[in-house]
Structure 1
Amino acid sequence: MELPANAFKSELAAKQAPLYGCWLGLANAYTAEIVATAGFDWLLIDGEHAPNTVVTILEQLRATENYPAASIVRAVNHDPALIKQLLDIGAQTLMVPMVETGAQAEALVAAMRYAPAGIRGMGAGVIRADRWGSVADYATRAAESLCLITQVESKTGVDNARAIANTDGVDAVFVGPSDLSTNMGHVGDPGHADVQAAISRVLEVTKAAGKAAGILAPAEADTNRYREAGFDFIATGLDVALLKTAAEANAARHRGGTTSAERGTY
């Protein structure tokens, strides 16, 4: 059996058009599969803020793998043991939050690679990633199919964005505007001039490093602005917010009241 290809990694490298994605925070394979039919280019299975486990992430990977939308898994932290588990169950693209230094980026690359290039534990023959031993050369070629996205979400991360982006093995840098604005002292205001300047700085150094840049932008105006700025992949929806907004709109239409969108919650 051939090494499973990573279409998302290939599309990022091609940089032909922005790739639009949706956050999956419902921690449910059934809803993940529904969103996979909607036409997004990629889906983010959220292991940081959603109540996911390795098992529920596996269920969502299985549910979405036969659809065109590529699946990305966000780890809850930098733990190499957890990263090993996520890779072993077949996650090909990982997003890791709160990366603040080049050294942290290097450690994440090492966690995704087998020795001598890294520290990933060897489970060849007993893991889903190599189809339980069916991919004969998996151990030597695994890195070809893996994609690492590092998240910059703090002022320290912005200050070190050049080092992070230039780390060999980092494929993309993703900005988290909410965490970044909060860390910079502008809670709930990612549109603040200082935050926007920081975002532009991350985009600039990421592009200069030849890497792809991504960002979360569920508001249409933000999506348009970041697309024009040159971001390569943009999260335009969150399943939790989409469900809540639609439910509130339905209830408000029949019973009166306002929705989260009208109140400015989203």
Structure 2
Amino acid sequence: SASASASAAPPAVDALSSPTATLKSRLAAGETLYGLFLLSANPTLAEIAGLAGYDYVVVDMEHGPGGISDALPCLRALAATGTPAVLRLPESSAVWAKKALDLGPQGVMFPMVDDAASAAAAVSYCRFPPRGVRGSAHTVVRASGYGVDDGYLEHYEEGLLVMCQVETEKAVGEVEAIAAVDGVDCIQMGPLDLSAALGYLWDPGHRKVREVIAEVERRVLSNGGAYLSGFAMPHDSPEELKKRGYHMVAGAVDLGMFRKAAVEDVLRFRNAPGSGDAAGGGDEGEEGEDKEKGYWSE
């Protein structure tokens, strides 16, 4: 009856950040996903990234200037475009994981995971007691639709992608144990921090760094457990990562893309016919080219 319909409870809904197919379900179906890192904490750029068609966007709270309050508008902008969000935490801690998970991202990325114990701790931060230590306010947080999704506790783990970053020498030696931890879905390579740990801070494309990364790739992919995710670099393109078997590939960083476009725009103007040597001349074109041989921020 009309009165019964009016008094019925609202239907359960999924978290406010995802289309029907989740990152986990698409990975399980064999897709290779292409994403972007958002360091700016800017919801307009997040919305543009979603509209552009990226499969996922990592809202970065580790190296970007934004925190939880800045991440929320970005998640809302991505949700408006049906684009899954992954939140990268500033540190691998229960407090940061709790605050991030309450916003309802499809994935969380834990930095500097060095061994199986650290990975198991990260997973525990994502699970409610008795299986973990996540604090609960599930009736009022965004992840559950502010309590509208009354099935949240039953299904949230199914759609949550837990990513652990391998970016130290110790982690390289422990990568198989990290990947084998129950609840770890994805190993995320951290090429810049790893190059620094190996003694090549200014040379992430060094042969030694590439050999170590290749060994990690082999060990993760041969075990067939956790997925493999990575950053493209100027010396290692997104297409190359895909060919080598990466399941998730981040092709760029929003700030790096804007910097590149801005520098090219200025150089184009200054080097136009009739600009004159006083405005910069031909040397800046070479300088801009050299800068492109640098590397993007993790």
TM over 0.5: yes
Which residue number in structure 2 is paired with residue 212 of structure 1?
Answer: 227
Secondary structure of the residue aligned to 1:65 is helix
1: CA distance between counterparts of 2:133 and 2:289?
Answer: 46
Q: How does 1:100-179 map to 2 (within 5 A)?
A: 100-179=114-193
Further displaced range: 47-56 or 5-14: 5-14
1:222, CA displacement in angstroms?
A: 2.9
Secondary structure of the residue aligned to 1:40 is coil
Letter of the aligned partner of 1:13 in structure 2?
A
1:245–1:261 CA contact under 8 A, matched in 2:
no
* Cα distance change on mapping 1:126 and 1:261 into 2, 3 Å: farther
In the alignment, structure 1 residue 55 sits paired with structure 2 residue 69: yes
2: CA distance between counterparts of 1:46 and 1:70?
Answer: 14
1:6–1:92 CA contact under 8 A, matched in 2:
no
| Gaps in structure 1 of 5+ consecutive residues | none
Of 104, 107, 113, the residue aligned with 1:99 is 113
2: CA distance between counterparts of 1:128 and 1:210?
Answer: 31
Give per-residue Cα distances to partners, 1:208-261, cap 9 Å, x unaligned: 142210111143743232222111111111110110111111111111323644
Of 207, 216, 221, the residue aligned with 1:193 is 207
Q: May I ask how many residue pairs the two structures share in their alignment?
A: 265
Letter of the aligned partner of 1:123 in structure 2?
A
Secondary structure of the residue aligned to 1:243 is helix
| Gaps in structure 2 of 5+ consecutive residues | 1-11, 272-283
1:166, CA displacement in angstroms?
A: 0.4
1: CA distance between counterparts of 2:82 and 2:153?
Answer: 26
Extract structure 1 runs of 4+ deviating beyond 6 A: none
In the alignment, structure 1 residue 19 sits paired with structure 2 residue 33: yes
Further displaced range: 147-156 or 249-258: 249-258
Give per-residue Cα distances to partners, 1:39-80, cap 9 Å, x unaligned: 221111100000111111011000111324321110000110
Of 170, 180, 188, the residue aligned with 2:194 is 180
Give per-residue Cα distances to partners, 1:78-137, cap 9 Å, x unaligned: 110111011111122001111100000000100000111100011121111111221213
2:234–2:294 CA contact under 8 A, matched in 1:
no
Of structures 1 and 2, the larger Rg is shown by 2
Letter of the aligned partner of 2:251 in structure 1?
T
1: CA distance between counterparts of 2:138 and 2:167?
Answer: 34
Which residue number in structure 1 is paired with residue 24 of structure 2?
Answer: 9
Which residue number in structure 2 is paired with residue 80 of structure 1?
Answer: 94
* Cα distance change on mapping 1:31 and 1:261 into 2, 3 Å: farther
RMSD over aligned CA atoms reads 1.7
Secondary structure of the residue aligned to 1:173 is strand
Which residue number in structure 2 is paired with residue 234 of structure 1?
Answer: 249
1:173, CA displacement in angstroms?
A: 0.3
Further displaced range: 214-223 or 102-111: 214-223
Secondary structure of the residue aligned to 1:141 is helix
Secondary structure of the residue aligned to 1:215 is strand
Letter of the aligned partner of 1:78 in structure 2?
S
Secondary structure of the residue aligned to 1:22 is strand
TM-score (norm 2): 0.84
* Cα distance change on mapping 1:105 and 1:6 into 2, 3 Å: farther
2:84–2:106 CA contact under 8 A, matched in 1:
no
Secondary structure of the residue aligned to 1:213 is strand
